[in-house]
Amino acid sequence: MPELLAHPAVQDALGQSPFGHSLFTRSCALGAQWEVTLTVTERGIAYIRHAVRAHIRHWAREEAEAVTLLGVSELLTNVLRHAHTPEARIGVRAEMAGVYVVVSDLDRRLAVIGAADLLSEDGRGLAMLEALADGFGVMATASGKDVWFRVACSGARAPGGPGGGT
């Protein structure tokens, strides 16, 4: 996995924010799982997408890439727009059958899938994610909430390619 951490987009993400502090407080990759604790910013969401894309490709889960990246963007944008604090944790895991993602934040209000006005520019993201993902849910936690989704891959093999692992 060291080669993923050397990728320019991941290096940028692990670097400094425009405000002089690190966007990420903790990042960890263990086998077929990656997680990061961060302060969500608009620019940081793009960096996280690059890092998630790199991991998905490393794990040979390209079939799940489009929906996974859409879901990551939606959930982190919701943290930025709706949570009382931009602090969050994202975990991405390659499973035998696909990819599992969870975004945790410190806002105790549970995410609600609403019916948006057809002319509205927002409000449909969670409904879209629920429709595209193969599993979706929201759970209250002691410190806030977890929003998760799962994307299936029809031909998934052991994470990390033919030999498995990373």
Q: What is the pLDDT of residues 48-76, one digit of tens each?
A: 999 999 999 999 999 999 999 999 999 99
pLDDT band at 117 (very low <50, low <70, confident <90, very high): low
pLDDT, residue 1, reads 41
pTM of the model: 0.77
125 vs 70: CA distance, rounded Å? 9
Q: Flag whether pLDDT at 35 surpasses 50.
A: yes
With residue 12 as reference, give the H or E element that holds it: helix 8-14
The angle that helices 65-82 and 42-58 make with each other, rounded to 10 degrees, is: 150
**88 strand-pairing partners:** 38, 105
Q: How many other β-carbons are positioned within 10 Å of the β-carbon of residue 144?
A: 20
145-155 average pLDDT score: 91
Place of tokens 């966007």: 23
For all residues of the chain together, what is the average pLDDT? 79
The sign of the CA dihedral 10, 153, 96, 99 is positive
